[in-house]
Amino acid sequence: MSGISTCWPHFRRKISQGEYLSKEHAFYPQLCQCVYSIHIAQTENMHDMLLQQAGKLIDPVMKRNPKLLTLWNEYCVEPWACWSLANNGNVPLTIANNQPIEAWHRKVMKTLKYALKGRTAAVLEHSFPKIVQSDSKPCKTV
């Protein structure tokens, strides 16, 4: 079992949309390279070294671009610096993402529809067994 993981696809999308630094900024290509290099790190030591080097490069730019401080605090400090391939060393090629959780949540909401708006006792008695029953069904084969 792995620990928490920050969602790499969401982080990557935010970077690519210029949420933390304008895509026209001269440092933007270097920021993208730093983030990608950290993501593909193969060991925890490599991850830590790349994160440290990225911090040295980002720090001077961060002073003039406060959104980079937000990026750093949300994705580059413990326990949130966990979007690298190296963070799941016990499960090879695991990409940190929340898609399975989001897919399960959509399935639960579809299964229950409006049932969660009922009384707590009714939700516990009727809705949760529906979730358990739904989760116990085998996957559909293609």
Tens digit of pLDDT per residue, the chain (142 long)? 455 667 788 888 899 999 999 999 999 999 999 999 998 888 889 999 999 999 999 999 998 999 999 999 988 988 888 878 777 656 666 666 666 667 777 787 887 777 777 778 877 787 777 777 777 766 555 4
Q: 6 and 83 in contact (C-beta within 8 Å)? A: yes
Tell me, what's the pLDDT at 142? Answer: 46
Cα 108 to Cα 14: distance, rounded to the nearest angstrom: 27
Tell me, what's the pLDDT at 10? Answer: 84
Tell me, what's the pLDDT at 1? Answer: 41
Cα 90 to Cα 2: distance, rounded to the nearest angstrom: 8
As a whole number of Å, the end-to-end CA separation of the chain is 28
Tell me, what's the pLDDT at 26? Answer: 95
The candidate with the shortest Cα–Cα distance to 62, out of 75, 72, 52, 53, is: 72
**All structural domains of the chain with their residue ranges:** 8-88, 99-136
User: DSSP assignment of the chain, as one string?
Assistant: -------HHHHHHHHHTTSSS-TTSTTHHHHHHHHHHHHT--SHHHHHHHHHHHHHHHHHHHTT-THHHHHHHHHSSTTT---SGGGGTTSTT-----HHHHHHHHHHHHHHTTGGGS-HHHIIIIIHHHHHHHHHSPPPP-
